[in-house]
A = this chain, B = another copy of it.
Amino acid sequence: MKTVSEHLGAVLDLLQPLPPLDVVLHDAVGCVLAEDILAGGDLPERDLAGIDGYAVISRDVDGATPQSQVTLRVLDEIVAGSVDDHRVVTGSALKVASGAPLPGGADAVVPLEDTDGGRAAVHVRSGPAPGSFVRRQGEDLRTGEIAIAAGERIGARQIALLAALGRARVAVHPRPRVVLVSVGDELTEPGRRASAGQVFDANGHALATAVQDAGGATFRVAAVPDERTRLAETLEDQLVRADVVITTGGLSYGGNDTVKEVLAQLGQVRFDNVAIAPGRQFGVGVIGGQTSGTSTPVICLPGDPAAAQVGYEVFVRPALLAMAGHSERYRPTVPAAVTQAWDSPAGRRQFVPVTVLGSPDTGYRATPVGVPGRLSVSAMSRANGLAVVPEDVTTVEAGAQLHCLVLES
């Protein structure tokens, strides 16, 4: 039997980081930067007024107070975006808007509220030090400096900087394009009336959401019955847009090994019993587009929705993050004392949905949601973590410390 680590290793080996792609800013959000972004110019590109007020020569207003005001002649007004050349001379000031270019000669700005706001002449009530309320050319970034290094994740604050630098496109590791195929004669779409024996397809919807949470782009195919031709056609149709194909189900003997036989025709996919609970058989390999000549990684997960979710968390999510260039691939874990005892299958690493409560100060406690070992989509839905029972533990004692994966709420 393959260990959890061995199977994860095989999946990580298969899903290598995607080559960089040049994308527009909007499509870069959530992606990992694949190039160092250098400042193409100084930021700000020249000295700017940092506040609405009057650009002055600080010497002229040295010692000004409400009781001892200084009067300056106002030469002109400058707004943000102005391109005119202005110059302050001794005894004069220029009215400036916040963000306006600082006129030549000026070395400080007196805030509007420290003046009478005069148009021809202004009474100044404070004497700012040289450099006050001035944003110096290049004080934020100098030409050629690294603004954002390759490997950083691009969020709102990085978008602000990229846009401020005038970048409309950047090279990123693109989102993995993931095609999801649920396999099973018994599956029907939510919203339809299920006839006797039919089960609603939960995996397609749930894994599409989970893949998007991990930054992937998903293409969900409506559930495919256990028919070799239909499945083969579906997979071949989808290869053109897939970086990865994930199948769920079709692995029980009752499915007549549809998935295994079809994938054997289309490529090399290895199936193993993996020492995990829940879950049993897992597949990993490549299928080739006969037309395209390329080969596409394929991951096969169990059909039960609770087992598929756990399999996704343990084997697929870290590999998708690696594919997208992330260095952080794993959920955070906390050590937690379990509040009840249960039996765990010998020789398998068991993942049990739990509610983790506590804090770093008080320590964490983990309470199983539902019956440990029982497959339950409602328990998965209510849990906020997965307690990890090592392979060699067959009885989890109440109070035992287990590592718990923290799922997003």
Q: Interface 1/0s, chain A 151-174, versus B by CB < 8 A? A: 001011111111111111100000
**Contact A199–B254 (Cβ < 8 Å):** no
Whether A265 sits at the interface, judged by CB under 8 Å, is no
Point out the residue from B192, B199, B202, B210 that lies within 8 Å of A80, measured CB to CB: B199
Interface contact A159-B81, CB-CB below 8 Å:
no
Measured in the bound complex, the distance between the Cα atoms of B157 and A22 in whole Å is 33
Whether B148 lies near A83 (C-beta < 8 A) is no
Partner among B79, B200, B359, B381 whose Cβ is within 8 Å of the Cβ of A166: B200
Of the candidates B81, B101, B189, the one whose C-beta lies within 8 Å of that of A185 is B81
- Say whether A305 faces chain B, with CB atoms less than 8 Å apart: yes
- Name 6 A/B residue pairs within 8 A (Cβ), A-sorted: A79-B255, A140-B374, A156-B207, A163-B202, A168-B192, A169-B191
A304 and B98: CB pair below 8 A? yes
Instruction: Give the copy number.
Output: 2
Chain B residues whose C-beta falls within 8 Å of the C-beta of A187 in the assembled complex: 81
Shortest CB distance A47–B (Å): 13
Cβ A29 vs Cβ B190 within 8 A: no
Does A5 lie at the interface of the complex (its beta carbon under 8 Å from any beta carbon of B)? no
Complex Cα distance, B305 from A26, in Å, reads 17
B255, A97: Cβ atoms under 8 Å? yes
Q: Is the CB of B81 within 8 A of A377?
A: no
Complex Cα distance A407/B309, Å? 28
How far, in whole Å, are A375 and B153 apart by their CA atoms in the complex?
A: 22
Whether A141 pairs with B378 at a CB distance below 8 angstroms is yes
Assembled-state Cα–Cα distance A199/B26 (Å): 19
Q: Is A99 an interface residue (CB 8 A)?
A: yes
Provide the bound-state CA to CA distance between A253 and B229, in Å: 71
Residue among B163, B203, B359, B381 making CB contact with A205, cutoff 8 Å: B163
Indicate whether A389 reaches chain B with its CB closer than 8 angstroms: no
Q: Which residues of B contact A304 (CB under 8 A)?
A: 98-99
Taking a contact as CB atoms under 8 Å apart, the answer to whether B160 and A309 are in contact is yes
Q: Which residues of B contact A77 (CB under 8 A)?
A: 254
- Whether A155 lies near B83 (C-beta < 8 A) is no
Q: A80-B254, A185-B81 are in contact. Are A153 and B377 (CB under 8 A)?
A: no
- B29–A212 contact, CB under 8 A? yes
